Amino acid sequence: MTVLISPSILASDFSRLGDEVKAVDEAGADMIHLDIMDGHFVPNITVGPDVVKALRPLSKKTFDTHLMIAPNPAYIEAFAEAGSDIISVHPEPDPHIHRTLQSIRNLGKRAGLAINPGTPLEVIEPLYELCDLILVMSVNPGFGGQKFISASLPRIEHIRRRIDDLGLQTILEVDGGINAETAPKVLAAGAHALVAGTAVFRSGLGSYREAIDTLRVSASA
């Protein structure tokens, strides 16, 4: 299965955000990961739909948008109109998560469900068939550069089994502490999409292709 690399612009240089998006696009990224934080659901604030809209013309790659906000439904349409291709939401701030996933699809976008390290996996059971992507957080969301939580591996394995048992084509993505050491473990557990922030952007402009290629090579090891 092809490994998808989705660099997270959370780790990029925000003073030249447009150039950073173009650079990772040209460096071979499969998707561009956009972390949307509101200072309520997670203890950080990043960008909103207007920034996503401004970045959209700079890349034709999939905009993989991860909403860490409360509430979800109020902003789904805005991010869809801004150019997001995949919109992932968390179940915790949304008592009607089933409806929200439906609404994302009704807007012509792919629906994602994001699972925190402490989110019970039972939450996903009635939702698998509404998910085009399941995002397993291998750190507690809110900040980049955190250490990978190894207890995420059996969670990834469980979700992989359920996706396969149901005969679905759901993308299984992992975000948090992804680097050349953790990527092979995550892929072996059953994921095939990797969100990488620090592992890509710390290499500096001009080295992004090498960083992305290193992740691909390590993941296939």
Active site residues: 35, 175
Tell me if 192 is assigned to a ligand binding site: no
Flag whether 28 is marked binding.
no
Residue 33 labelled as part of a binding site: yes
Question: Alpha helix (H) ranges present in 27-139?
Answer: 49-55, 73-82, 97-106
Distance in angstroms between the alpha carbons of the first and the last residue of the chain:
13
CA dihedral 173, 177, 183, 184 (to 10 degrees): -120
Cα separation, 172 vs 136, in Å, equals 8
Instruction: Determine if residue 142 is labeled as part of a ligand binding site.
Output: yes
Residue 144 is assigned to a ligand binding site: yes
Q: Is 175 annotated as a binding residue?
A: yes
Per the annotation, does 66 bind a ligand?
yes
Count the Cβ atoms, other than its own, within 10 Å of residue 31: 25
Q: Binding site residues for a divalent metal cation, as ranges?
A: 33, 35, 66, 175
Q: Binding site residues for substrate, as ranges?
A: 8, 66, 142-145, 175-177
Q: Binding site residues, as ranges?
A: 8, 33, 35, 66, 142-145, 175-177
